[in-house]
Amino acid sequence: MENIPLHYMLIALVFLLILSGFFSLSETSMMAINRYRLKHLAKQGHRGALLTTKLLDKTDRLLGVILLGNNLLNTASATLVAVIIATFFGQDEMALLMGTILVTFAILLFSEITPKVIAAAYPERIALAASYVLTPLLKVFYPVVWFVNLFVNGLLFLLRLKPKEGQIEQKISTEELKTLVLEGGHFIQKKHQSMLVNLFDLETVTVDDVIVPRGQIEAIDLNAEDEVIHSQLLTCHHTRLPIYRERMDNIVGIVHVRKVLNLMQSGKITAKMLETVMREPYFIPSGTPLFTQLQLFQENQLRIGLVVDEYGEWLGLVTIEDILEEIIGEFTTQAPTQSNTFLTQKDGSVIVEGSTLLRDLNRKLALKFPLKGPKTLNGLILEHFQDIPEAGMGITVAGYPMEIMQIKNQVVKTVRICAVPKVVEQDPID
C-alpha cells in the first residue's frame, strides 16, 4: 500500500462511500415506498415494480443483502482511512483520532444521513431503480445472506418473535382511508372527494338521520270520499304515496302514482281501484345503517320504505333518493310539504323550522350541533329543556344562542338561530 499514490486511495475511499450510500438509499426507499402504489404499478406490468414486489416479499433477504453491502463498504472505508494514516503518519495517535472522526463524519454525511433523506423524499423513484441492482446482488450473495439469516432466525426464536413471511400487510381503517382521501386534494376533485367521504359515512349514518317525519308525509286515506282521493292524487307532489285506513298508524300499502294515472282514463279513481294497484308496505327498523339499507333496496328492488321503532309504530319514510343525496348532495327539488328551508335575517341570524334535521343544519349552515341523540332541532331543544318551552324564550343550546319563535301542538315550530357563521343555501321559509 505504501507504493499506491494518495490520490488513488482517496478516490477509492470516495467510491466506497458512494457505494455505501447506494445501499442506504435502497434500504430507506424500499421501506418507505407506498405499497398500494407499488401494487398498482405491478398490476400494470411495470418491470421495476414487479422486481421491488418480489424483493419485499422476502424482507429478511432484502435487508440481509442491503446491510451486508452497507456494512462491508463502511468497514472497508474505515480500514482504508486507517491504512492511509498509518502510511503517511505512522503511529501518531492524534492523526489516528482525527482520521477516525473524519471517516465517521464522512460516512454519516455521504453514506447514511444524506442518502436516506433523499430516499425518504423520493422513495418510489429510487426503489424501482434500485431493484434492478439488488435483484442480481441477492442472487450472487444469497449463500452469505442465507447463512447470516440462520443466526437471525435463531435469535428471533429465542426472543419468541415470529415475523410474518412475505410482504408486510398494511391494513387501513375507514377513518384512515377518509384521511387519505381528504389529504389527496391535489389528485381528487373537490366534488369527488366529498362524495367519497360521504360514502364512508354511510356505515355510521342511519335511516333516522335522513327520515322524512310523519307530519311532512303526504298519504291517502282509503276511507275518504272518492272525490277527495281523486283530487289528492291529481295534486300530489310525489310519485309514491303511503295508503292508510282511518288513521295514519294503519298503513296498508304504497301506491305508485303513475299506475294510478293510467287508471284515470276510465274515470275517477276510487278506493277500490287503489287497493288493486297498491303493493304491500316495506318496513325498515329504526337505526338501520344507510349502507345496509341501500343494499336492501337494491336486493328487494324497492325505492321507498317506512321506518318503524321498536314498538312497531312508524316514524316516517326513507327513499333511495334520500340515501343517494347523502352521497352526492341534493339533486331533487323539495316538495312544498317539506319546508326545511332557511330565512336569513339582516343581523346574520337565520330562522329555521324546528323539524329541520341537525345534519342539514350542520351541512348547510356550517354549524356543529351534536348528532348523537335527537335528530331534529325540535328534539334537541326539548331534550335541553326536558319540557315544552314557550314562544319568545331565548336559550343557548350546544353553544348556539336561539330564540323560540313559534310553538304549535307541543312542538317547536320555528326557531331563530343567532350569529350563524355561514349560510350555504338561502331559501324563504314557508
Residue 306: beta bridge partners?
Answer: 283, 317
What is the full DSSP assignment across 364-395? HH------SS-SBHHHHHHHHHTS---TT-EE
Burial class of residue 429, CB neighbours in 10 A (0-12, 13-18, 19+): middle
Mean of pLDDT values over 387-395: 85
Higher pLDDT, 87 or 30: 30
CB of 256 closer than 8 Å to CB of 234: no
Distance CA 325, CA 104 (A): 63
Q: Which amino acid is at 166?
A: G
Q: The C-alpha cell of 369 is what?
A: 350541533
Q: The C-alpha cell of 6 is what?
A: 494518495
Mean of pLDDT values over 290-313: 90
Distance CA 189, CA 306 (A): 36
Distance CA 48, CA 129 (A): 7
CATH class of the region 207-328: alpha beta
Helical H runs in 301-370? 320-328, 358-365
Q: The C-alpha cell of 227 is what?
A: 272525490
For position 2, what pLDDT does the model report? 54
pLDDT tens digit sequence for 197-246: 878 878 788 888 888 888 788 888 988 888 888 888 888 888 888 999 88
Domain extents in the chain: 6-158, 207-328, 342-417
CB of 361 closer than 8 Å to CB of 381: no
CB of 290 closer than 8 Å to CB of 207: yes
Higher pLDDT, 120 or 387: 120
Backbone angle region of 335, left / alpha / beta, with phi > 0 → left and psi within -120 to 50 → alpha: beta
DSSP, collapsed to helix, strand or coil, labels residue 418 as: coil
pLDDT tens digit sequence for 97-115: 888 899 899 999 999 999 9
Distance CA 423, CA 361 (A): 9
Helical H runs in 90-219? 93-106, 114-121, 123-140, 142-158, 174-183, 190-201
Q: The C-alpha cell of 42 is what?
A: 405491478
Q: What is the pTM of this model?
A: 0.60
Distance CA 310, CA 287 (A): 10
CA-wise closest residue to 33 among 101, 149, 120 = 120
342-417 placed in CATH 3.50.50.60: no
pLDDT band of 29, cuts 50, 70, 90: very high
For position 227, what pLDDT does the model report? 85
pLDDT tens digit sequence for 124-162: 999 999 999 999 999 999 999 899 888 888 888 888 877
Q: Is 207-328's fold the same as 342-417's? A: no
